[in-house]
Amino acid sequence: MRGWRWLAAALLMLLAAASGGAWAVREALAPLPPGPEVEVTIPPGSLVRDIGQALETAGIVKRADVFNFYVRWKYREESKHFQAGVYRLHPGMTIDEVVQKIVSGDVYRETVTFTVPEGFTVEQIADRLAKEGLVEREAFLREVNEGDFDFRYFQYIPAAPDRKFRLEGYLFPDTYTVEKGATAHDIIQRMLTRFESVFSEEWRKQAATLGLTMDQAVTLASIVEREAVLDEERPRIAGVFYNRLQAKWRLESCATVEYVLDEHKERLTLQDLAVEDPYNTYLHDGLPPGPIANPGKKSLEAVLWPEKHDYFFFVAKNDGSGGHYFSKTYEEHLKHNAKSSGSF
């Protein structure tokens, strides 16, 4: 019966063409009126006639036999390479458009979307992705430290023995959409690629003019990210840290201590500040061994173009604004500190 239908379609098109009825051929091949997208499954080993029937049933083509004839006539070689899978197609597509999708294997892939907030650490990212069922936490952390990535900035990341996570600072905060089933490697590669698109070669050169390597700039930006709340204060906070570095003062950033403690505290104790760790900038000079979080664009810009001033101290205001008091002297800082429950 199928053979008769195919033959009838073939004869219809041949007779129409032979009699000058090009309009009949166009009508037989014309797409259906546009409609909503539908999923069409093509099982492995499907014949052209099976595919045509599936398309007719789904409402993508008018007649399976016409599709069958047209494909055998125009796409005989290409039809040998039709790929199985689930396709998202919609009424209104031409037969040629449908064929191209099936030949190219442009199958529908389910995606998932996740967001990495600015200032998240590698461990926080791993926790969030694991909670959403995207990765296995330990596998993600292992890939961060051991994975091989196509990342042009690798050469600028030092292999410091005290560095907690090799790629801390470079998993750029953003909203990502990935294919369902993406591996930890795939996700990390996407985030590294996003970092590259933001941190240009010009930015790296700008860091050099300030006397910093790219990794040092990212490290300082990660501290600014964790200390700042208001965007307008980021360049000013960066300027405080530059002043301290140039004066050979310790940074004394609470954020670096919190990275060691692996928790946020409204107020650090003297015991907290005395925790021995290379990342504790209350005890060690200069920058920590690596970034303490993954900074966003505004914190990176703040470090590359810091505000120039004479401030050496800042302390959080206790008014819910997220702002800080900035001081030039320790005495002034003590007065501001008395008005705040925070500590610097």
- What local confidence, expressed as pLDDT, does residue 266 receive? 73
CA 150/CA 129 separation, integer angstroms: 22
If one compares 338 and 75, the residue with the highest pLDDT of the two is 75
111 or 244, greater pLDDT: 244
What is 2-104's CATH number? 3.30.1490.480
pLDDT digits (tens, 9 = 90+) for 79-111: 888 888 889 999 999 999 999 999 988 888 888
Average pLDDT of the chain is 89
Average pLDDT over residues 290-300: 98
Report d(CA 78, CA 198) in Å as an integer.
41
Residue with the bigger pLDDT between 269 and 279: it is 279
List, for residues 14-66, the tens digit of each pLDDT value. Answer: 545 544 445 555 666 788 899 999 999 998 889 999 999 999 999 999 888 88
pLDDT band per the 50, 70, 90 thresholds, residue 77: confident
Mean pLDDT of 101-127: 92
Residues 195-212 have a mean pLDDT of 96
Residue 105, both tokens? 């294997």
CA geometry: angle 179, 183, 188, nearest 5 deg: 95
Which DSSP string do the residues of 298-311 spell out, in sequence order?
A: HHHHHHHSPPP---
Inform me whether the pLDDT recorded for 151 exceeds 90.
yes
Instruction: Report the candidate in 75, 189, 167, 181 with the shortest Cα–Cα distance to residue 121.
Output: 167
Model confidence pLDDT, tens digit, residues 227-243: 999 999 999 999 999 99
Domain residue spans of the chain: 2-104, 111-198, 201-338
E strands in 196-323: 313-316
pLDDT at 23: 52
Greater confidence (278 vs 17) lies with 278
Residue among 150, 166, 168, 170 at smallest CA distance from 158 = 166
Q: Which helix (H) or strand (E) holds 66?
A: helix 64-74
Question: Three-class SS string for 99-136?
Answer: HHHHHHCCCCCCEEEEECCCCCCHHHHHHHHHHCCCCC
Work out the percent of the chain whose per-residue pLDDT is above 70. Answer: 91
Which residue has better confidence, 267 or 307? Answer: 307
How far is the C-alpha of 270 from the C-alpha of 315, rounded, in Å? 17
Average pLDDT over residues 280-307: 97
pTM over 0.85: no
pLDDT for res 13:
54
For residue 270, the SS3 value is helix
Stretch 309-313: mean pLDDT: 95
Q: What is the percent of the chain where pLDDT is above 90?
A: 65
Q: Look at the block and give the residue holding tokens 């042009």.
A: 152
Q: Is the pLDDT of residue 152 over 80?
A: yes
Rounded distance between C-alpha atoms, residue 204 and residue 201, angstroms: 5
